[in-house]
Every structure is written in structure tokens, then in C-alpha cells.
């Protein structure tokens, strides 16, 4: 099954390198808007068809006729236009931006639920790292409120990421609820300027009623193993933490009607595979890994072309 990539920046280029290693899909084209971009230069050297005229140039490439899936690694604003053009040609789209036009897909949680959709949204890097944990907790006990904090190296946040901060928080919070199963969700992103750059770290807080701690911890550990199948650098930093919440503590008012309960805290670290990006850029690596896993699943099922 053949794919094309829109976006020749960090995410699109890393995605290209991962796709070149895949035995299930074949990347044949890349589109960007900067003729001098490193991504287009590397794609050209590896024999891909390239264009610096964005999606308009992509659909004019002879290779585009044979493309089954287009993966968009641009921005939320650009994706709305790109998706309309690509879907107008009957191609399926995997969206690596926070545009959230299509249903949210987190491979370890709901990979097969939306594969018939013409547009599949990969949420955000923070969402891909933390929603599996919220889903694991909610599989054992109702999650009244979930909050995630994604800390990434400032150097790993390119222009697209910085332009989409609002979309990041809104899309991630919505997916925490819709995919993770929390009654209410909140997302925070921190761009850490430390030198040398720090690896991606995520903290997940889930407020629940009294629960079977062993069962919750086991579900989290099982979920981490599932994510590691396609993101090898994904790991727990320490054991799952449980602490009692008093009914008068302010944080618990975020879950109206609840009286006391338990706060579940999970600390994560995501190290990138360094196919193109530095190992500290786990935030970008987990997005490209999740998108690749989704494209490969479409290939396995032979459902690349949209109905």
C-alpha cells in the first residue's frame, strides 16, 4: 500500500524515515512548501517524488494516482484545506495535526474502531503519550477527572507545534474524555528551554473513587507494554502512585458531586528512536510512530482507499 506525506518539516521527515523501514507500506511522495527544506532534499535523494507546491503540487504528481493514504504533518489550519483536496481525489487521510476533523485514533486504545473513516486524527503528541494511561485507569474504575501535563524540549517544538498550542490543549482534553474515558479532561503543555534538551516527560493525574490499586496498576503496566510495541522508548518512570483525596481539598471540586476518593499519578518518559530527530524529541517520535502504526493497520486490512 502506497503513501504520500504532506509536510517536509521535522515530523514529516521523521515519518518518511520510519515509512522507508516499513515492510507493510511504501512511501512514494512528499510535498512541502519550502524548496530548500531538508526534508524535501532527503526525500529526493531516496528516490521519492517531491514537490514544493504543497497539496496542489502533490495531486499533480504522476505517482499520486497510485497513492492509497496521505499523511498530513503540517498544521491544523493547513490540514483543513489539505484534507478537502486529498479526499476529493478519493484518498484516505491520516492527520498528524490537532485539526480533529476526523475521529481520534490512539493505536493502543481504539485502533480498529474508526478505520472506515476517511480522515483519522492522531490527536497530539501529549494525547498519544497519556490517553492510553487514562484509558487503562478507566478500564478498572470510573475516572471523574483526568489532567495531563506534557513537558517537551523547546528545541523539539517547531513552528507548527508553536502555532497550534491552543488546538493542542483543546484537542487533547477532548480526546482524554472521548477516548480515555474520563468524565472531564484537561491538558497542559510545557516547552522546556533547558540545555541540553530534556527528554519528553508526561504526568497523568486521574481522580477516581476508591479503587483496587493492584488492578489499576496492573492495567497501566499492561498498557505501557502495548504502547511500547510501536514506541520502544515509551516507559514508566516509577511505579503508579496512589494517594487519598480529602473531600474538602480544592482539586476535587473539579469533579462535582464527588466526596473524597483517590488520586492516581503516573509518570512517563518518551525517548525517540532517533531515525531523523534527536532522541530527546520523543514528543514527535510518538506521533510519527502512532501514525505509521495506523497506516500499517490500514494496509493489513487492505482499506487504504476511502469509500
Which helix or strand (DSSP H or E) is residue 15 part of? helix 10-21
- Say if residues 123 and 171 touch (Cβ distance below 8 Å): yes
* Feature table: binding site: 8-11, 156-164, 283
Q: Residue positions in the annotated binding site for NAD(+)? A: 8-11, 156-164, 283
3-state helix, strand, coil in the chain (%, to 5): 40, 25, 35
The DSSP-derived string for 115-179 is TTSSEEE---HHHHHHHHHHHHHHTTS-EEEEEEEEEEEGGG--HHHHHTHHHHHHHHHHHHHHT
- SS3 call for 146: strand
Q: In this structure, what C-alpha cell is assigned to residue 190?
A: 510545557
Q: Residue 125 catalytic? A: yes
Which entry of 73, 76, 125, 231 is annotated as an active-site residue? 125
Strands (E), the chain: 2-6, 26-31, 49-51, 69-72, 92-95, 119-121, 143-153, 185-192, 200-208, 234-236, 241-245, 261-270
Cα–Cα distance list, 273 to 18, 199, 230, 277, 280 (Å)? 10, 12, 11, 8, 9
Bridging pattern class, strands 2-6 and 119-121: unpaired
3-state secondary structure of 121: strand
96-153-235-215 Cα dihedral, nearest 10 degrees: -80
Q: Using CB atoms within 10 A of its CB, is residue 88 exposed (0-12), middle (13-18) or buried (19+)?
A: exposed
Contact predicate 70/30, CB 8 Å = no
Q: Which residues are catalytic?
A: 125
Amino acid at each position: 500500500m502506497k503513501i504520500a506525506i504532506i509536510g517536509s518539516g521535522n515530523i514529516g521527515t521523521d515519518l518518511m524515515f520510519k515509512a522507508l523501514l516499513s515492510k507493510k507500506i511504501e512511501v512514494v511522495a512528499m510535498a512541502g512548501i519550502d524548496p530548500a527544506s531538508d526534508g524535501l532534499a532527503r526525500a529526493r535523494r531516496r528516490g521519492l517524488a517531491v514537490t514544493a507546491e504543497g497539496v496542489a503540487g502533490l495531486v499533480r504528481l504522476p505517482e499520486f494516482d497510485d497513492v492509497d493514504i496521505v499523511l498530513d504533518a503540517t498544521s491544523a489550519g493547513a490540514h483543513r484545506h489539505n484534507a478537502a483536496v486529498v479526499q476529493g481525489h478519493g484518498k484516505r487521510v491520516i492527520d498528524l495535526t490537532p485539526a480533529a476533523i476526523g475521529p481520534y485514533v490512539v493505536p493502543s486504545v481504539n485502533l480498529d474502531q474508526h478505520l472506515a473513516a476517511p480522515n483519522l486524527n492522531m490527536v497530539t503528541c501529549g494525547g498519544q503519550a497519556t490517553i492510553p494511561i487514562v484509558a487503562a485507569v478507566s478500564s478498572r474504575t470510573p475516572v471523574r477527572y483526568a489532567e495531563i501535563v506534557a513537558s517537551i524540549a523547546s528545541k523539539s517544538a517547531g513552528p507548527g507545534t508553536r502555532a497550534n498550542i491552543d488546538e493542542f490543549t483543546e484537542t487533547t482534553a477532548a480526546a482524554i474524555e472521548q477516548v480515555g474515558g474520563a468524565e472531564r479532561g484537561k491538558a497542559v503543555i510545557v516547552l522546556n528551554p533547558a540545555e541540553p534538551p530534556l527528554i519528553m516527560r508526561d504526568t497523568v493525574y486521574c481522580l477516581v473513587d476508591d479503587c483496587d490499586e493492584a488492578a489499576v496498576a496492573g492495567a497501566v503496566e499492561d498498557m505501557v507494554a502495548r504502547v511500547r510495541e510501536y514506541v520502544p522508548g515509551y516507559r514508566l518512570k516509577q511505579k503508579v502512585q496512589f494517594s487519598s483525596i480529602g473531600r474538602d481539598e480544592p482539586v476535587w471540586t473539579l469533579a462535582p458531586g464527588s466526596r473524597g476518593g483517590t488520586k492516581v499519578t503516573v509518570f512517563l518518559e518518551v525517548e525517540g528512536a532517533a531515525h531523523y530527530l534527536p532522541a530527546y524529541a520523543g514528543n514527535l517520535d510518538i506521533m510519527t510512530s502512532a501514525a505509521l502504526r495506523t497506516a500499517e493497520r490500514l494496509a493489513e486490512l487492505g482499506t487504504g482507499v476511502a469509500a
